[in-house]
Chain A
């Protein structure tokens, strides 16, 4: 009897526990305000713009903070936000930005040039150790300050008055406003200093953008509400944005279909079904991105130390078929490195790069001394572990076998190890995705292939290529810059085939008919510009 009583008590206790856990968690009543439910695949690692590194979270950074310079989603050029205009001095080494005088922090204080200066300083402070610091090394003494060799006061930043700020830079970089765009979100000094690394928690945050952060349950959801004091509040229509953290793409897709979220990027496995579905196919948009999927070659590894071998393998790839049958997401096949939409990318009609041509491919290989692949040393193609990459690698393997008669081994490697092996020069060639840090060909050609300041993984060197990308960096005549990058692409992808570009990334998006949104090539969506048609 006593025992039964005990068991009953324990059971009751458990039930009460379970019920109380769910108490108060009942579904919210229907909202009266215009609202939209979104999904983020990542819980923000931080919402401090001076530390935020993941591009997936940019959407939230832009909801909370104004940026010095915004980004025009149509032409990829910098556009006004906090700064209404900017100009370079005659020698191109001093940039002056003129700021709006009507931007206020949510604590009521005015946002001035001092806040801009503080934020830049914070990014460069070695004690803060921000991953973004390198993006500001073009500013005078920035690198020195970041490595402890100079004081903050020596930085090339000058406050002219409350609403004018100047940057002195080391070299006359033509794309400085674009470069500062990614790091130019002012943060509130006093709040940061009071609350330290968690100053952006909902109970502490002081922000300046179109939305306020009102709730954040880590790894679950974030709630944003319209900021009535935002300088352009009258043009912000959606009053409440709920951002669910949903890692799994298929789950997000199901949530969209069940109406729990209002817009979603379609997982590649669902694309065929969506396109055939009479209702869903009406809600589809294909969006190209500023990301390149490519093969990189270690030009010191046998047999790829011979450019003819590289060209043979490049010419044996049917990129149209790869995109149509394997990648399937509306990607654009390409023969050049910088994706369409960045400044300096080469139009496909220019005919630069190596086209699919199986006959020519065989000739290249014969010319290199390996007719029909005879005598060719073993070749292994590597990719970082993912189902998608495996499918692509296996399709490439088939193409090389069919068009060159070469049996290439394909092998996956775990992500972090992958990178270490590549850097150490342990692979012959490998798959790589590369996203634009700035929408400029500089970000691809220079960063990947420049002999001393690039990634160095190609182990490739051409003096004329280096000279071109160095000159293009400071060239202010836009037409001349374009020509320089075209020539650089020709050397890298056509003459030398040290990089074999396959396609530009794209994504397929589904959006409910009542939501009117823009699609960002850089995945830096501006929710402030979105509109919701009221539901009847």
Chain B
């Protein structure tokens, strides 16, 4: 197991380099550059040239890429073109913890609501409880955060006046964004848990357990749930990676200084080092999350571990 983990970790290095290369080529292939556009266009060519030289943008792409990789290997993600003197390392250090806190809290909410809802629906299939649970889940999947966020603000901040509209820092300020981000995922988890649970409770070994006279409660928790969770865990990996690195929509609606917006603003502003930095950090989290998922698989199902 240990050697497996080490092997997987070593594999991330070439994976990241390939991701870096592809991202680098793609972002330079998009038309426009950091210092083009109507805002900046009327500047004299001489001024634009100084600015491009400042960030070595007039070097050959090959030189730019090798320099980037060389700095990357030393842990330096480069400067942000949009904010003089600020490095991508600083941006990530300042904003990632906020996104990660929001992401982890909302994932806990999603799991706390979604998984029990799914189990409860599956155990009483086609009952009112099932229909109601799945109605709530479909609702949750269908309402995007872009709508849910302003709706929650309107109800809880403007009409009921019990929560602040936006910003980040206090427990009260966290409630609305955490739920906005959590509810959609709760709905996805609920539907998945239900479907997978329904499949598992029809398996022979469940019938065997029941025939042996095992208590129903123990069957649900120990025999069905543990096996039913495998598909759920599979999507938790990428979900976690996405949530930790920030949600642009929720962060924008609630004015939260997270990392999410940099994924979008960097592309719009052709802020190359920030594009590279955000893509790489997302890739790292995705790889780590998938590794964790694989480890959890082994714990949930010994058959996987033995392969």
Confirm or deny: B66 has a beta carbon within 8 angstroms of a beta carbon on chain A.
no
Q: How far is the CA of A133 from the CA of B47 in the complex (A)?
A: 6
B108 at the binding interface (Cβ < 8 Å): yes
Q: Let me know if B168 is at the binding interface, CB within 8 A.
A: yes
With a cutoff of 8 Å between Cβ atoms, the chain B residues found around residue A437 in the complex are 42
Tell whether, in the assembled complex, residue A254 and residue B153 are in contact, meaning their CB atoms are under 8 Å apart: yes
Indicate if the CB atoms of B31 and A417 lie closer than 8 Å: yes
- In the complex, A423 has a CB within 8 A of chain B: yes
Quick check: A45 and B47 within 8 Å, CB to CB?
no
A290 to chain B, nearest CB (A): 15
Residues of chain B contacted by A514 (CB below 8 angstroms): none
Interface of A is mostly: mixed
Contact present for B166 and A197 (CB under 8 Å): no
**A420 / chain B contacts, CB cutoff of 8 Å:** 31-32, 36
Residues from chain B with a CB closer than 8 A to the CB of A197 are: 84-85
Of B37, B44, B169, B257, the residue contacting A134 (CB under 8 A) is B44
**Does A277 interact with chain B (Cβ within 8 Å)?**
no
Whether, in the assembled complex, B192 has its beta carbon less than 8 Å from a beta carbon of chain A, the answer is no
Assembled-state Cα–Cα distance A245/B167 (Å): 9
Q: How large is the interface on B (under 10, 10 to 19, 20 to 34, 35 or more residues)?
A: 35 or more
B residues 11-57 touching A (CB-CB < 8 Å):
30-33, 36-44, 46-47, 50-51, 53-54
Q: Which of B82, B83, B153, B169 contacts A251 (CB 8 A)?
A: B153
Nearest residue (CB) in A for B82 is A45
> Which residues of chain A (248-263) have a CB below 8 Å from chain B?
248, 250-251, 254-255, 257-258, 260
Q: Report whether A45 and B84 are in contact in the complex, using a CB–CB cutoff of 8 Å.
A: yes
Q: Is A21 an interface residue (CB 8 A)?
A: yes
CB distance from B175 to the nearest CB of A (A): 11
Contact (Cβ within 8 A) B47 A419: no
The 8 A CB mask of B96-133 against A (1 = contact, 0 = none) is: 00000100110010000000000000000000000000
Q: Is B281 an interface residue (CB 8 A)?
A: no
A147 near B84 (CB under 8 angstroms)? no
A-facing residues in B39-96 (Cβ within 8 Å) = 39-44, 46-47, 50-51, 53-54, 82-86, 94-95
A contact residues, total (Cβ < 8 Å) = 56
How far, in Å, is A376 (CB) from chain B's closest CB? Answer: 29
State whether A419 touches B41 (Cβ < 8 A).
yes
Q: Which residue of B lies closest to A147 (CB)?
A: B46
Assembled-state Cα–Cα distance A377/B303 (Å):
70
How far apart are the CA atoms of A325 and B31 in the complex, in Å? 35
A416 CB–B CB distance under 8 Å: yes
Please give, as numbers and ranges, the residues of chain A lying within 8 Å of B85 by CB-CB distance: 46, 196-198
A209-264 at interface with B (beta carbon < 8 Å) = 217-221, 244-248, 250-251, 254-255, 257-258, 260
Bound form: Cα–Cα A198–B84 in Å: 8
Q: Which residue of A lies closest to B153 (CB)?
A: A254
Residue pair B255, A254 in contact (C-beta under 8 Å): no
| B252 interface contact, C-beta 8 A | yes
Could you say which residues of chain B place their CB within 8 Å of the CB of A77? none
Interface residues of A in 306-356 (CB under 8 A from B): none
Q: Is A137 at the interface (CB under 8 A from chain B)?
A: yes
A134 touches B47 (CB 8 A): yes
A146 and B47 contact, Cβ closer than 8 Å, known pairs A129-B54, A248-B255, A251-B253: yes
Q: B180 → chain A, closest Cβ, in Å?
A: 12
Name which of A21, A53, A146 has the most chain B CB atoms within 10 A of its CB. Answer: A21
CB-defined contacts of B41 to chain A, threshold 8 Å: 419, 423, 455
B240 within 8 A of A: no
- Is A247's CB under 8 angstroms from B255's CB? yes
Most buried by A among B30, B104, B255: B255
A258 with B158: CB separation less than 8 A = yes
Distance A126 CA – B53 CA, assembled complex (angstroms) = 9
**Contact yes or no, A244 B36, CB < 8 A:** no
Complex alpha-carbon distance, A46 and B80, angstroms? 12
B268 sits at the interface (CB 8 A)? yes
Does B154 count as interface, using CB distance less than 8 angstroms? Answer: yes
Closest B residue by C-beta to A132: B47
CA distance A196 to B84 in the complex (A): 10
Interface check B263, CB cutoff 8 A: no
Cβ-based interface call for B183 (8 A): no
- Residue from A45, A198, A260, A415 in contact with B165 in the complex, judged by beta carbons closer than 8 Å: A260
The residue on A at minimum CB distance from B80 is A45
Interchain CA distance A14-B167 in the complex, whole Å: 22
Is the CB–CB distance between B165 and A251 below 8 Å? yes
B36 touches A146 (CB 8 A): no
B170 within 8 Å of A (CB atoms): yes
Tell yes or no: A27 within 8 A of B by CB.
yes
Chain B's nearest CB lies how many Å from the CB of A142? Answer: 10
Q: Is B174 an interface residue, CB under 8 A from the partner?
A: yes
Q: Which residues, 118 to 173 on B, are CB-close (under 8 Å) to A? A: 150, 153-154, 157-158, 161, 164-171
A48 close to B (CB within 8 Å): yes
State the CA gap A385–B131 with chains docked (Å): 42
Cβ B165 vs Cβ A255 within 8 A: yes
The interface residues of chain A lying within 8 Å CB-to-CB of B33 are 416
Q: Is B170 a contact of A22 with CB atoms below 8 Å? A: yes
Is A131 located at the chain interface by the 8 A CB criterion? yes
**A258 with B31: CB separation less than 8 A:** no
Q: Does A447 contact B (CB under 8 A)?
A: yes
With A137-B44, A248-B253, A258-B157 as given contacts, are A419 and B170 in contact (CB-CB < 8 Å)? no
Interface presence of A25 (CB below 8 A): yes
- Cross-chain contact B51 with A245 (CB below 8 angstroms): no
Q: Which residue of B lies closest to A246 (CB)?
A: B255
> Is A452 an interface residue when CB atoms closer than 8 A count as contact?
no
Contacts of B297 in A (CB 8 A): none
A198, B108: Cα distance in complex, Å: 38
Residue of A53, A254, A257, A455 with most chain B CB atoms under a 10 A cut-off: A254
Interface residues of A in 172-210 (CB under 8 A from B): 196-198
- Chain B residue nearest to A15 (CB atoms) is B108
Q: Is B270's beta carbon under 8 Å from chain A?
A: yes
Bound-state CA distance A490–B169 (Å) is: 57
B167: A residues at CB distance < 8 A: 220-221, 244, 246, 260
Q: Which residues of A contact B43 (CB under 8 A)?
A: 131, 134
* A419 and B32 contact, Cβ closer than 8 Å, known pairs A26-B170, A131-B40, A248-B252: yes
- Return the chain A residue nearest B81 by Cβ: A45
Per the bound structure, the CA–CA distance linking A72 and B195 in Å amounts to 69
Residue with the highest number of chain A CB atoms closer than 10 Å, among B39, B50, B101, B270: B50
**Nearest chain B residue, comparing its CB with the CB of A247:** B252
Contacting pair B165 A258 (CB below 8 A): yes
Given contacts A251-B254, A420-B31, contact A131 B169 (CB under 8 A): no
A-B contact pairs, 18 of them (CB 8 A): A21-B101, A26-B170, A27-B170, A45-B82, A48-B84, A126-B50, A129-B47, A129-B54, A133-B50, A198-B86, A248-B253, A254-B154, A416-B32, A416-B268, A417-B32, A420-B32, A420-B36, A455-B41
In the complex, given contacts A251-B255, A254-B157, what are 9 additional A-B residue pairs having Cβ atoms less than 8 angstroms apart?
Answer: A14-B108, A137-B44, A146-B50, A219-B94, A219-B261, A251-B254, A384-B38, A420-B31, A455-B42
| Closest 8 pairs (CB-CB, A-B) | A197-B85, A416-B32, A219-B257, A129-B54, A25-B169, A129-B50, A220-B257, A134-B44
